[in-house]
Amino acid sequence: MLGADAMARCLVKEGVRVVFGYPGVAICPFFNSMLSVDIDRVLVRTEQNAAHMASGYARISGEVGVCVATSGPGATNLITGIATAYADSIPLVCITGQVDSGQLGSDVFQEADITGAVESFVKYSYLVKDVEDIPRIFKEAFHIASTGRRGPVLIDVPIDIQNASISRFVYPDEVNLRTYKPTVKGHTVQMKKVIKAISRSERPIICVGGGVLLSNAASEVSDFAHKYGIPVVSTLMGISVMPTDDPLYFGMVGNNGKSYANRAMNESDLIIMIGARVADRAISQPDLIMDNTVLVHIDVDPAEIGKNVGPHIPLVGDIKAIFEEITKYEAQCDCSEWVKTLSDYKAAEKSRKKPREGFVDPAVFIAMLSDRLKDDAIYVADVGQNQMWSCGYHKVKKGRFLTSGGMGTMGYSIPAAIGARAAAKDRQIVAVCGDGSFQMSMMELATMQQHKLPVKIIIFHNGYLGLVREYQYNVYKGHYSVVDLSGSPDFGKIAGAYGIPFYRMDDMKDAGKILDEFLASDDPALMEIMIDPLDVVK
Amino acid sequence: MKRLYSVLVENRSGVLSKVAGLFSRRMFNIDSLAVGETDDPNVSCITIVSSGEKNTLEQIEKQLNKKIDVIKIKTFNEEESISRELILVKVKYNKSTRREIMEICEILNASIVDMSKGLLTIQLCDTPERTKLLIQMLASISIVEVARTGVLALQKCSLSD
């Protein structure tokens, strides 16, 4: 058995169902060995999207996403995808081919020091130097990626190691890492403190982040909120922990969030942050809210506690494990008055300024789209105005909302939606992007067609890099620089070239009918909606 | 505020760069850094002296702990540690300065370990304050070159140990 065969066997042992990748000479032994195992291989059109597809796959399946690239440019092209996954704590195992180990360091053809290059974007990385280490390294990599705070792990395998014979293949049952033992169970004393703080509080608020979804704890956290009637707000990454129409849910916080969500945070006397890292876009001035509130911070990563804000009650552990436990304690809490106040704030929220006639109103459009989506639909937003409108107006029922939150990587939506489709072939999936972000990954339409992973794609066409244009409007008095997207192709012809049905919506007339047709089948479809070029998020 | 970190790590290639990279990426200071094998050849000890706000010094420990190659971190203030640094100082001398240099060496317990007609190499192994003092005293005379190990430290033994 060769090292490459061992690599493929390791993936089988880990229950991997699909890998997203792009071959090159340095990873050819591995792809050859993949012919003899029952794992789907998806050929992407550029490596960055292999990582995004693995990310979409991981977020929907709850498994580790796997992407593969060759040495040199293949590996370096993965980096943005790896960094995107790292910023949102998505579990990936990224496998790269490497030049012959005897030639490492001599700058031969397609050599890149990928383990060095990704050091600050991975949870861990390996350069395999001995073929006998392959089973242990793969076991460790999957374990590290999928436990504690999730994240990407990279395995770099020189071609001679892939071609070397392995004496005996034994896949380890257990991982033995003396340096890596993430905390799972919450500390009892701290949990009791949380319960006590809730009993003392009159205006508590729960703020959920992406960590709740990563820990698969949405229902536990939601049940806890309902048990005491505590209102909930979310960060961008925490959208879809609660259904949008839940009476206890008060939207997304932050500078692009709902004003009533931010008011709820500012006026509360107890903030319970769960799986959120108190980043600048959610809470721009953490010191201010700390003045007259008690802060509880629950996270699996002890380094997040006190990084951006020093909490009064830190609680480290896996969120699911903590909420399964904490629900056994009883708090005295009646915040019905407080919820009523927040509901009044919500009802008084002014609706967005109507855009000019003759265009599609993105807010109204997204609301209409949400109404028509299946309950468990997966909505993938790209980055930019389309993303901000999506988090403002998409109504989550029982489905998921995916986007690149931490890194804000344009072009994420199409590959992530395709990856999500590979994980959930029976679910409805919609990718929403701008005309800028669409052109960053439109090459993946071929991947979608080739591998029969159909998704619905909606392009918000405004002819600009809209969010940057909006920023230049506000900060540079409308002096636009390098944001005009003139020269974009005819998206209908692009769809036609790939054999994908195309729909176009110029204004709100017939919007319902066009949407119904667009969503009618399970086939892929592309829709272009015409947005006022000068429309703004707020 | 100064703090010493005695970081036990897996003795593998690339670990030092991961630890040093963490400091540069997160804007943590490195005042000094020294690395060497421990009594266990699989384990190296990286001694780092850093300075910053209390919050930053806590983050350094937490972020180091996240590194999978880090086995254990001991952290202590200067006064809780025995710390030593070895320095070698090469100075230019002539008839009129030779006596003064020898007196400085005598006072600070430094030794002259090499010499030629115009140059002397002085060695001192002492606390960081004393090594700093030696450099200050020799600075006015003409230092040619300085090499130093960086601070090594172990926690003080307590009576109950």
Q: Which domain holds residue B97?
A: 82-154
CA–CA gap between residue B65 and residue B72 (Å, rounded) = 7
B157 CB near a chain A CB, below 8 Å? no
How distant is the Cα of B35 from the closest Cα of chain A, in angstroms?
19
The closest alpha carbon to A293, from A311, A307, A315, belongs to: A311
Whether residue B160 lies inside any domain: the answer is no
User: Are B57 and B97 contained in the same domain?
Assistant: no
Over the stretch B4-41, which tens digit does the pLDDT of each residue have?
999 999 999 889 999 999 999 999 999 999 999 999 99
B25 CB near a chain A CB, below 8 Å? yes
How distant is the Cα of A303 from the closest Cα of chain B, in angstroms?
5
- A188-347 and A362-530 share one fold: yes
- Tell me: pLDDT of A39 over 80: yes
Q: What's the pLDDT band for A278 if we cut at 50, 70, 90?
A: confident
Asked if residue A390 lies in contact with residue A403, where contact means CB atoms within 8 angstroms, the answer is yes
- The residue of chain A nearest to residue B64, with distances taken between CA atoms, is A303
How distant is the Cα of B59 from the closest Cα of chain A, in angstroms?
7
CA–CA gap between residue B101 and residue B99 (Å, rounded) = 5
Element (H, E) at A48: helix A47-61
CA–CA gap between residue A312 and residue A264 (Å, rounded) = 19
- The residue of chain A nearest to residue B9, with distances taken between CA atoms, is A179
In this complex, which of A116, A144, A306 lies closest to B68 when CB atoms are compared?
A144
In this complex, which of B10, B14, B58 lies closest to A306 when CB atoms are compared?
B58
Phi, psi of B110, deg, nearest 5 = -95, 155
- What does DSSP say about strands A92-98 and A152-158: parallel, antiparallel, or unpaired? parallel
Domain of residue B48, CATH code: 3.30.70.260
How distant is the Cα of A419 from the closest Cα of chain B, in angstroms?
29
Whether residue B159 lies inside any domain: the answer is no
Residues from chain B contacting residue A126 (CB–CB below 8 Å): none
Q: How many CB atoms lie within 10 A of CB A397?
A: 15
- The residue of chain B nearest to residue A119, with distances taken between CA atoms, is B18
CA–CA gap between residue A254 and residue A460 (Å, rounded) = 23
Under CATH, which number does the domain A3-163 receive? 3.40.50.970
Q: How many CB pairs under 8 A join A and B?
A: 36
Cross-chain residue pair B65–A303, CB shorter than 8 Å: yes
User: Mean of the per-residue pLDDT values for chain A?
Assistant: 95
Average pLDDT for residues A343-355, to the nearest whole number? Answer: 89
Over the stretch A207-253, which tens digit does the pLDDT of each residue have?
999 999 999 999 999 999 999 999 999 999 999 999 999 999 999 99
Q: How many CB atoms lie within 10 A of CB B85?
A: 22
Looking at B26, B45, B76, the residue that finishes a domain is: B76
Looking at B76, B99, B127, the residue that finishes a domain is: B76
How much is the pLDDT for A255?
Answer: 87
Average pLDDT for residues A505-519, to the nearest whole number? Answer: 97
Whether residue B145 lies inside any domain: the answer is yes
Whether residue B24 lies inside any domain: the answer is yes
How much is the pLDDT for A51?
Answer: 98
Q: What's the pLDDT band for A408 if we cut at 50, 70, 90?
A: very high
Cross-chain residue pair A301–B66, CB shorter than 8 Å: yes
User: Are B10 and B47 contained in the same domain?
Assistant: yes
Cross-chain residue pair B21–A120, CB shorter than 8 Å: yes
- The residue of chain B nearest to residue A300, with distances taken between CA atoms, is B66
CA–CA gap between residue A501 and residue A21 (Å, rounded) = 27
How much is the pLDDT for A352?
Answer: 82
User: Are B47 and B113 contained in the same domain?
Assistant: no
Assign A137 to helix, strand or coil. helix
Phi, psi of A520, deg, nearest 5 = -60, -45
Cross-chain residue pair B65–A180, CB shorter than 8 Å: no
Over the stretch A151-171, which tens digit does the pLDDT of each residue have?
999 999 999 999 999 999 999
Residues from chain A contacting residue B71 (CB–CB below 8 Å): 178-179
Asked if residue A436 lies in contact with residue A459, where contact means CB atoms within 8 angstroms, the answer is no
How distant is the Cα of A98 from the closest Cα of chain B, in angstroms?
17
Q: Give me the percent of chain A exceeding a pLDDT of 90.
A: 92
The residue among B18, B24, B54 with the most chain A CBs within 10 A of its CB, best to mutate, is: B18
How much is the pLDDT for B161?
Answer: 75
Over the stretch A429-441, which tens digit does the pLDDT of each residue have?
999 999 999 999 9
- Tell me: pLDDT of A378 over 80: yes
- Tell me: pLDDT of B92 over 80: yes
Whether residue B95 lies inside any domain: the answer is yes
How much is the pLDDT for B79?
Answer: 86
Whether residue B148 lies inside any domain: the answer is yes
Give the N- to C-terminal CA distance of chain A in Å, as an integer: 60
A398 CB burial (10 A radius; 0-12, 13-18, 19+): exposed
Cross-chain residue pair A301–B18, CB shorter than 8 Å: no
User: Are B59 and B86 contained in the same domain?
Assistant: no
User: Are B94 and B141 contained in the same domain?
Assistant: yes
Instruction: Provide ipTM, 2 decimals.
Output: 0.86
How distant is the Cα of A300 from the closest Cα of chain B, in angstroms?
12
In this complex, which of A127, A179, A303 lies closest to B70 when CB atoms are compared?
A179
Cross-chain residue pair B65–A119, CB shorter than 8 Å: no
Q: What's the pLDDT band for A282 if we cut at 50, 70, 90?
A: confident
The residue among A101, A113, A120 with the most chain B CBs within 10 A of its CB, best to mutate, is: A120
User: Are B103 and B60 contained in the same domain?
Assistant: no
User: Are B16 and B60 contained in the same domain?
Assistant: yes
Tokens (6 digits) for A439: 């052109």
The residue among A124, A125, A140, A179 with the most chain B CBs within 10 A of its CB, best to mutate, is: A179
Cross-chain residue pair A179–B21, CB shorter than 8 Å: no
- The residue of chain B nearest to residue A125, with distances taken between CA atoms, is B68
- Tell me: pLDDT of B47 over 90: yes
How distant is the Cα of B134 from the closest Cα of chain A, in angstroms?
39
Residues from chain B contacting residue A307 (CB–CB below 8 Å): 59, 62
B56 CB near a chain A CB, below 8 Å? no
A244 CB burial (10 A radius; 0-12, 13-18, 19+): middle
Q: How many CB atoms lie within 10 A of CB A215?
A: 22
Asked if residue B126 lies in contact with residue B108, where contact means CB atoms within 8 angstroms, the answer is yes
Say if pTM beats, i.e. exceeds, 0.90. Answer: yes
> How many separate domains does chain B show?
2
Stretch among A297-301, A386-390, A515-519, B74-78 having the lowest mean pLDDT:
B74-78
User: Are B61 and B106 contained in the same domain?
Assistant: no
- Tell me: pLDDT of A311 over 90: no
- What does DSSP say about strands A378-381 and A429-434: parallel, antiparallel, or unpaired? parallel
User: Are B29 and B92 contained in the same domain?
Assistant: no
Stretch among A91-100, A281-290, A441-450, B117-126 having the lowest mean pLDDT:
A281-290
What would the DSSP string read from start to end of A16-41?
Answer: --EEEE---GGGHHHHHHGGGSS-EE
Give the N- to C-terminal CA distance of chain B in Å, as an integer: 28
Cross-chain residue pair B68–A178, CB shorter than 8 Å: no
Cross-chain residue pair A124–B68, CB shorter than 8 Å: yes
Cross-chain residue pair A302–B10, CB shorter than 8 Å: no
Q: Regarding the domain with residue range A362-530, which homologous superfamily does it belong to in the CATH classification?
A: Thiamin diphosphate (ThDP)-binding fold, Pyr/PP domains (3.40.50.970)
The residue among A287, A307, A308, A316 with the most chain B CBs within 10 A of its CB, best to mutate, is: A307
- Tell me: pLDDT of A113 over 90: yes
- Tell me: pLDDT of A149 over 80: yes
Residues from chain B contacting residue A119 (CB–CB below 8 Å): 17-18, 21
User: Are B6 and B71 contained in the same domain?
Assistant: yes
How much is the pLDDT for A306?
Answer: 84
Domain of residue B90, CATH code: 3.30.70.1150
How distant is the Cα of A421 from the closest Cα of chain B, in angstroms?
33
How distant is the Cα of B68 from the closest Cα of chain A, in angstroms?
6
What would the DSSP string read from start to end of B71-122?
Answer: EEEEEE-GGGEEEEEEEEEEEE--HHHHHHHHHHHHHHT-EEEEE-SSEEEE
- Tell me: pLDDT of A286 over 80: no
How much is the pLDDT for A350?
Answer: 86
Task: Kindly list the residues of chain A whose beta carbon comes within 8 Å of any beta carbon in chain B.
Answer: 115-116, 119-120, 123-124, 127, 144, 177-180, 301-303, 305-307, 310
CATH code 3.40.50.1220 for A188-347: yes
Phi, psi of A7, deg, nearest 5 = -60, -45
Looking at B76, B100, B133, the residue that finishes a domain is: B76
The DSSP code for A167 is S
Taking the domains of chain A in order of start, what are their residue ranges?
Answer: 3-163, 188-347, 362-530
B65 CB near a chain A CB, below 8 Å? yes
Residues from chain A contacting residue B10 (CB–CB below 8 Å): 179
What would the DSSP string read from start to end of A416-467?
Answer: HHHHHHHH-TTS-EEEEEEHHHHHHHTTHHHHHHHTT---EEEEEE-SB-HH
Cross-chain residue pair A306–B65, CB shorter than 8 Å: no
